[in-house]
Amino acid sequence: MRLVVGNDGDAPLEPAVEPWAGTHRILPGQTCVVVTHSPAGDGSWSGTSRGGEPFRGGHRRDSITVWACGGCFHIDDMQGREIGAAGWNCPAR
């Protein structure tokens, strides 16, 4: 599953990807893609508040948090190049 995160503001944005506490700085005008893969053989998602949710997003005053419900996360640029990851349990890469 892929979640596009863009920074439409005028200051750098540093989303935290939980539960790995991964971060990536997105400069104004830039966009990245948070990718997670399901660890389940049937492709299901455990969800954060109920099943079937691959992502959950949250916002605080000066930061955002993306909860990825897969077994890994990757941060790709818009061309699909990986620029960050916690992929040691990745079932797909």
Question: CA torsion 13→18→21→22, rounded to 10°?
Answer: -60
Closer residue to Zn ion in complex, CB, 12/40 = 40
Tokens found for residue 55: 């992502």
| Site for Zn ion contains 72 (CB under 5 A) | yes
Binding to Zn ion (CB under 5 A) within 17-36 occurs at: none
Count interface residues toward Zn ion (CB under 5 A): 4
**For 11, phi and psi rounded to 5 degrees?**
-135, 155
CB neighbourhood size of 62 (10 A) = 9
Out of 37, 54, 67, 69, the only residue in the binding site for Zn ion (CB under 5 A) is 37
Residues that bind Zn ion (CB under 5 A): 37, 72, 90, 92
